[in-house]
Amino acid sequence: MSKYWNERVRKLEPYVPGEQPRNRKFIKLNTNENPYPPSPNVIEAIRRAAGDSLRLYPDPSCTELREAVAARYGVTVDQVFPGNGSDEALAFAFAAFFATPEDGANAPPALFPDITYSFYPVYARLWNAPFETAPLADDFSINVNDYLRPSGGIILANPNAPTGLALPLEELRRLIEYQKEQGKVMVVDEAYGAFAAGNKTLSAVPLTARYPNLLTVHTLSKSASLAGLRVGFAIGSEELIQGLCRVRDSFNSYTLDRLALAGAAAAIADVNYYDELSRRIIATRERVSVELRGMGFLVIPSSANFIFISLPGKPGAEAFAALRERGILTRHFNTPRISDYLRVSIGTDGEMDRFLEACRALAEGPRVIPSSQSTRHF
C-alpha cells in the first residue's frame, strides 16, 4: 500500500487475468482464446491500414466499425458503441447506468450472480456502485425470480462465465421487462453467445428494438479470434449509447486505434468464416464433454467456448497443478463453491486430445471420495 494512493484505490481488489506464459511451451486452455487464426480478410485489412495515416488520430466515432456492426445485427449506427474490448464497454456501463450514492443515500444495489465474470464486482467498486449478488442454484443455474426486486441495475453474462450455462431468451425477457417497469437498465454480456447451439435464438440483440433499457455487450476476442486486437462493442437504444459516449469522452475519446478499427470491421463482415469456426469449436466441445463424463468427470452443460469440470475426489488445485505439470494450462478459481472446478477453454482437436490423455491419467490416479459424499447430477 502506497501512501500516495487514495482511499478508493486502497480498497480495490483488481481482476486477476489468466496466466500468459513466456518461457515454457504450454497448451493454453486457460483464457478462452479462439484456437483458430483470424480471417485472412482481417489480416489484409490491418496490413492496408498500416501506412502513413498512422500519424493521424483515428476516427473518434469509429464510423466504419459501427456501420459494420449495424449491418451485421440489423440495428442503426446510433445504436452501436465501440469499445477497447468488451471490458471497456462493461466498465463504462457500470459508470453510466448503475446507481451510486450520488443518486441518493439509499441507492439500490446492482445485481449479478455470485458466480460470474469476476470483473463485475471490480467495476462496481471502482465506480462506487453498491451491489449484491444472487446465489446460483446448486446446479449453477440462474433463478430469474431472485432478480425480480428493486435494484440499481442488473448485469448477467449469457452464457454465464465460468459455468458456461445459458439462460433461455424468454427468461431474459422477463428480467428486461421487469427492469423496464422499474426504470432501470438491464445489461446482457454476450461475450460467448456465438458458441451456443442455435445462437441466433439466444441473443438478446433483437430485443433492443423494443426495450430502451436493454444493453447487450459483445467482444471479438473469442468468436473472431482477435483477443490481441482488443475490440468490443455494445448495442442498445440511442439514449443508452449516448450515456456510454459521455463516459468515454470524459475519459479518452480515442480508445480504438486505426489498425484495430480496420481489422474489427473486416471481422464483423466475414460472417461465413467465423460461423464455421464456431461450429468446429462447438463440435469439439461436445465430443470432449462426452469423453470426460465417460471418465467420471462432472461436466456442466456448456454453451460457451469452454467447459467447467470437476473430478470427484480430486481437489481443483491439485487437478490444476497436475495438468500444468503436463504442459496444459487451465483456469482454477480458488473461491467458495467452485474451488474444486476447472474452467477449460476449447482448443483444437489435437490440443484437446492431449488434454483428454492427461485427464485420463488424473481419473485413473488416486482420489479421496468420502463414503458419505453425495453425487451432484447435472
118 vs 131: CA distance, rounded Å: 13
Residue 315 is classified by DSSP as -
Delimit the domains of the chain by residue range. Answer: 7-36+272-364, 40-271
pLDDT confidence tier of residue 199, bands split at 50, 70 and 90 = low
300 vs 323: CA distance, rounded Å: 19
Q: Quick one: the chain helix, strand, coil %, rounded to 5?
A: 45, 15, 45
- Is it true that 7-36+272-364 and 40-271 share their CATH fold? no
Q: Which CATH number fits domain 40-271: 2.60.120.260, 3.40.640.10, 3.10.290.20, 3.20.20.210?
A: 3.40.640.10
81 vs 1: CA distance, rounded Å: 36
**Domain 7-36+272-364 in CATH 1.20.120.80:** no
- The mean pLDDT value for 99-114 works out to 91
pLDDT digit string, tens, across residues 50-60: 999 999 999 99
What's the pTM? 0.93
Whether pLDDT at 103 is above 90: no
pLDDT digit string, tens, across residues 139-181: 999 999 999 999 999 999 999 999 999 999 999 999 999 999 9
Q: Are 86 and 189 in contact (CB under 8 A)?
A: yes
pLDDT confidence tier of residue 200, bands split at 50, 70 and 90 = low
CA torsion 15-20-26-28 (nearest 10°) is 50
The per-residue pLDDT for 231 is: 98
The per-residue pLDDT for 130 is: 95
The overall longest dimension of the chain from CA atoms, in Å, is 70
